[in-house]
Amino acid sequence: MADSENTSIPNIILFGSTGSGKSSIVNMIADSPADRPIANMSSGATGCTFKSDKYQCRILGSLFNIYDTAGLDEGGTGTVPREDAIVQLYQLIRKLDTGVSLLVYCMRAPRIQDSAHKNWKLFYEVFCREKVPIVIIITGLEHEDPMDDWWDRNKGAFQRNEMRPSGFACTTATRGKRKQSGKYQLEEEYSESQEKVWKLIKYNHLEEPWKVEKIEWFTYMMRCLKRHKEAGPPIHQLVTRCEMTEEEAIQLANKLKE
């Protein structure tokens, strides 16, 4: 179904580093059977999402379009270079004629990656102009009891990095091994996490989606690219808020306008 036909269905964008569990979260949202996941999951370091994939899911009685995107920060061994992954995400935001209702930043515990706050600011502040709410889902907390204790211990680090989500969910995104009884080792933790994620999306998305003004953005980028040395507003934002060098910012901005 074309995006233009889904005028009443909110668009939810999942983004984050490779290995953060985005595809596992999609399967959790969709309530996919363990042996028939709708989103492919990677067991290696290179990731498996080359572009954004759309999944239409029903969450607590309402339909949502869930977008699983290329992993950021894949590095030299990844299938999608970081710069290209950023461009793909930006292009997705621009092409959604019905707008964006929620950004979901996905990360895997226990460590907050150095790039986390840069990616957060790039999409929340620069691309979406702080017009779209952003929430965070933390995966890999199957050994934390209760799971929310992780947030209590680490929320200060997010605040120091100016990452202030509208909501959060500390989760176990895997059911674990299947036992002889037919049940899964982490069934209880998974079900609890699933309920958290459903509520996080249902109660934090915009009822009236934010739409990118494409002509304004294109003009904005073109204007600053014509005066590189003056570091126009978008370049300045990339340099100061996302901690890029001016050369990196100009290179990325050039790609964004292609």
Structural domain boundaries in the chain: 3-212, 213-258
Which tokens go with 66?
């869930």
pLDDT reported for residue 2:
41
Provide the 8-state DSSP code for 11. Answer: E
This prediction's pTM: 0.81
Report helix, strand and coil shares of the chain as percent, to nearest 5: 40, 15, 45
Q: Which helix (H) or strand (E) holds 248?
A: helix 246-256
Q: Count the neighbouring beta carbons within 10 Å of the beta carbon of residue 119.
A: 23
Provide the 8-state DSSP code for 69. Answer: -
Q: Count the neighbouring beta carbons within 10 Å of the beta carbon of residue 129.
A: 13
Which tokens go with 11?
């668009």
Number of H helices, E strands in the chain: 8, 6
pLDDT reported for residue 86:
75
Residue 73: which residues within 8 A CB-CB, separation 6 or more? 17, 18, 82, 113, 115, 119
The residue written with tokens 């340099």 in the block is 239
Please say whether the beta carbons of 131 and 210 come within 8 A.
yes
Q: What is the pLDDT along the chain (258 residues), one digit of tens a residue?
A: 444 444 589 999 999 888 899 999 999 999 998 888 888 755 444 444 446 889 999 999 999 999 998 887 654 444 556 677 777 887 888 889 899 999 999 999 988 888 888 889 888 887 788 899 999 999 999 999 999 999 999 999 999 999 999 999 999 999 999 999 989 999 999 999 999 999 999 999 999 999 877 656 555 555 544 544 444 555 666 666 566 677 766 766 666 655
Please say whether the beta carbons of 103 and 16 come within 8 A.
no
Distance CA 18, CA 106 (A): 10
**CATH number assigned to the domain covering 3-212:** 3.40.50.300
pLDDT reported for residue 125:
82
pLDDT reported for residue 247:
73
Looking from the CA of 122 toward its CB, the CA atoms found within 13 Å total 27
Please say whether the beta carbons of 218 and 257 come within 8 A.
yes
Please say whether the beta carbons of 25 and 14 come within 8 A.
yes
pLDDT reported for residue 239:
60
